Structure 1
Amino acid sequence: MRNYCRWCENDPLLIAYHDKEWGQREGNDQRLFEAMCLELFQSGLSWKTVLQKRDSIRKAFHHFELEKVATMNEQDVERLLKDKGIIRHRKKIEATIQNSRNVVRLQREFGSFREWIESLPNDVEAKAAMISEMFTYMGPITAKSFLEATGFIPVEHDKQCHLFEGKSLQIKPIGTADRGEVQQFFHQHWGSPEMVLSTGVFHCERLPGFLYRNKLGEIIGLITYVTHGKRSIEIISLDSVEEGKGIGTSLLQAVEAEAIEQQVRQIEVITTNDNLHALGFYQKRGFQLKELVVNGVEKARQLKPSIPRKSADGIPIRDELKLVKTMR
């Protein structure tokens, strides 16, 4: 027989949420908005009450379709205050409508609600404070619960729970004992740990950095860098085996935290003209294009002839682009 966190109370509804939803990384904006609203409605009540009324709340708010909720008005508020199927609390209803408008605005500015959350500081308290500042009726405790529920920060299961894994961090600095695994990771996913740029040759398995392990202890994300005094930290490699789970963002934030601690002025990274994914990833996280090195890859190719001449999409790989982010 399985054991669960105490708050499940052996209730089937709570157990289903605990096992299938709580702490699972969520990337869909509509479901993220729903999760935030449910946390908002739960304030001062039991979570069981919210789950029991969840279907009615979904119907009342157009299944949390953001554009539709954003158009709701005072007449809708008065109508919902008479709906016995939901939690009839004026400020919570009004906050849900206002918060949908804030999310729509963030989508237009950052591309998605998820990407805005991922752009927030790595520090949990700072992250929760910024969510609390952005949204109505979302105090820091409620904001933290939202981040836990949607997998942006780890949940803490009770020790007797079958999902308890202790408090070991998934992200940690690369240590001496990790070097063999790191080298194997590069051989498996990159073909070689050697990275050649126009600025030089780097052996990534020897560089400082951070790694991300899954529940099985396997490395599924890795970032390496070199430090140029107080001037800058240069990212040499960043790789995530599982896309869309915020692993790359978390690794980047770990390097940013390191830069702040070391009082380094900026972080820089070089990518190639064909790597549209990397260009989008870094720019969405505050990096700006600083320099175009025309035919920079050709220079690197002289040192490593095996560098491909075309991408999988048929784009000629010729130029390097340097992006930088100033640390404040």
Structure 2
Amino acid sequence: MNQTKKCQWALKTKLEEAYHDAEWGVPVYGDRKLFEALSLELCQSGLSWHTILNKREGYRAAFNQFDLKSVAAFDDAKIEELLLDAGIVRHRAKIAAIINNAQCILNVQKEFGSFSDYIWQFTDHKTIVGHWQSKEEVPASTELSALISKELKKKGFKFLGPTTVYAFMQSVGLLNDHTTDCFRFNACQ
């Protein structure tokens, strides 16, 4: 039986496997999708990725499909409403960070034209290929993710440390951290 090789982390659940096979590491350029990925990664902090993937549709519903202007206008009453929503992780600081970050992305759009142009400039608008042989080689953060985290914080973003930024970079294709034996490695370059 010929089994397709995949990154080891994707073999835990069918949901993670489907995400890995279709989305993880594929370059993303739309500001709404980048905002969604950034938001989901910050929500994952301290939790399993499976938990967040399970609640992704709940997040999409709760945050108006990650419409930046809509989310940026959320107020304290909306935060209280979201804290009652079982479709998402009910964590006040993370909810507030998503709203804050929407506001920050709108500011970045004014300055750079798009959040995509801003975030992709850090990799010279190219995917950085990891060439990792095993999951043990893949770092949790790098000097680049620390730099991006620092720059985002200067612009007012919250809940985005170097490890969260690194995971975001992996998810939206700024990095190709598929292991070299994974069937998605060549497709995500």
User: Normalising by the residue count of structure 1, what TM-score does the alignment of the two structures yield?
Assistant: 0.48
**2:52 aligns with one of 38, 50, 58:** 50
2:182 corresponding residue in structure 1: 161
Distance 2:117 2:184 in 1: 28
Query: 1:118: how far off?
Result: 2.7
Distance 1:58 1:97 in 2: 13
Matched, 1:150 2:172: yes
CA 1:132–1:17 in structure 2 vs 1: closer, same or farther (change >3 Å)? farther
Where structure 1 has 5 or more consecutive residues not aligned to the other structure, the ranges are 166-213, 216-328
The total of aligned residue pairs comes to: 166
**Which entry has the higher C-alpha Rg, 1 or 2?**
1
Find the residue that maps to 1:82 and give its secondary structure. coil
Distance 2:42 2:165 in 1: 9
CA 1:132–1:151 in structure 2 vs 1: closer, same or farther (change >3 Å)? farther
> Contact (CA 8 Å) 2:43, 2:94: kept in 1 or not?
yes
**2:148 aligns with one of 96, 114, 127:** 127
Aligned runs of 1:1-328 on 2, under 5 Å?
1-120=3-122, 124-125=144-145, 126-134=147-155, 135-157=157-179, 160-164=181-185
CA 1:13–1:73 in structure 2 vs 1: closer, same or farther (change >3 Å)? same
Report percent identity of matched pairs: 39
Q: Which amino acid aligns with 2:172?
A: T
Distance 1:41 1:21 in 2: 18
Distance 2:154 2:174 in 1: 18
Where structure 2 has 5 or more consecutive residues not aligned to the other structure, the ranges are 125-142
- Tell me which protein shows more helix as a share of its residues: 2
User: Normalising by the residue count of structure 2, what TM-score does the alignment of the two structures yield?
Assistant: 0.80
Please list the CA deviations of residues 5-48 of structure 1 after superposition, one character each: whole Å capped at 9, or x if unmatched: 22123422111110111111111000000000000110000001
Q: Give the structure, 1 or 2, with the largest relative contact order (CA under 8 Å, sep 6 or more).
A: 2
Query: 1:151: how far off?
Result: 1.0
Q: Which amino acid aligns with 1:124?
A: L
Find the residue that maps to 2:93 and give its secondary structure. helix
> Contact (CA 8 Å) 1:29, 1:114: kept in 2 or not?
yes
Distance 1:139 1:106 in 2: 18
Distance 1:160 1:118 in 2: 26
Q: Which amino acid aligns with 1:136?
A: K
